[in-house]
Structure 1
Amino acid sequence: MEKTIGKLLVGKYSELPERLGKTIILDGQEIAVFKLADGEVRAIENRCPHKGGVLAEGMVSGDHVFCPMHDWKISIMDGKVQAPDEGCVQTYQVEVKDELVYIVLG
């Protein structure tokens, strides 16, 4: 992926699949990028805090993703796991400009 000062290019907005994850690698860490049904784009750490399931492969419903390994429900908005399970994943700021999607660094 192309890195510019303060941003990592994810790709074209129109090419992101709706309600499916896309994996991006940033400095060895995987990030899951999602285009939600309302068109908003969000990015979170790509590993479930439970057993490390790949969240980009999970099913998206509303603003949550379900871990494909054990069905933990994780908010794509704030990274928090839904109770009674516990934990959270890191979230990343996303910017869409001129049809391009970026993860904002820092």
Structure 2
Amino acid sequence: MTEKTFLTTTDALLPQVGRSVSIGDKKIALFQLSDGRITAIEDFCPMTNGPVLEGIVSGEYLYEPLRDYKISLIDGRIQEPDEGQLKVYELLIEDRNIYLKGASL
């Protein structure tokens, strides 16, 4: 059996608008892409030391709200010419419920 932690429901998400969830002291930003996929990324940019939740989503990328860094919502990489990495979380979706897959944050 896969270990999982409930985050929210798919009904709580709006396309291309971030939703914040907290697990302990960790903040996770969830995004529903325009094609319906749902991604989860840490809600903290190492370049600005600020949240990414309010960024603008375009395709598979998030434009960080403070400095406009382009971040992949698929692998968490900050795109060139900048560099850096945000943690991406694996999700499990069952019956409209969104779970964080596994135990590690």
Q: Does TM, scored on the shorter chain, surpass 0.5?
A: yes
Give the AA of the match of 2:24: D
Shift of 1:14: 2.1
> Aligned residues: percent identity?
34
Shift of 1:39: 0.6
RMSD (CA atoms): 1.3
Q: Distance in 2 between matches of 1:12 and 1:46?
A: 18
Q: Distance in 1 between matches of 2:72 and 2:58?
A: 10
Q: Distance in 2 between matches of 1:33 and 1:82?
A: 20
Output one character per residue of 1:53-104: Cα deviation in whole Å (capped at 9) or x when no partner.
3111110000111110000000000000000001000010011111111111
Alignment correspondent of 1:65: 62
Asked if the contact 1:53–1:67 (Cα under 8 Å) also holds between the matched residues in 2, the reply is no
1:76 to 53, 73, 78: 73
1:52 to 36, 46, 49: 49
Instruction: Give the TM-score taking structure 2 as reference length.
Output: 0.90
1:1-106 map, 5 Å: 6-106=3-103
Unaligned segments of structure 1, at least 5 residues? none
Shift of 1:48: 1.1
- Runs of 4+, deviation exceeding 2 Å: none
Shift of 1:6: 2.2
Instruction: Select between 9-18 and 92-101 the one with higher mean Cα deviation.
Output: 9-18
Unaligned segments of structure 2, at least 5 residues? none
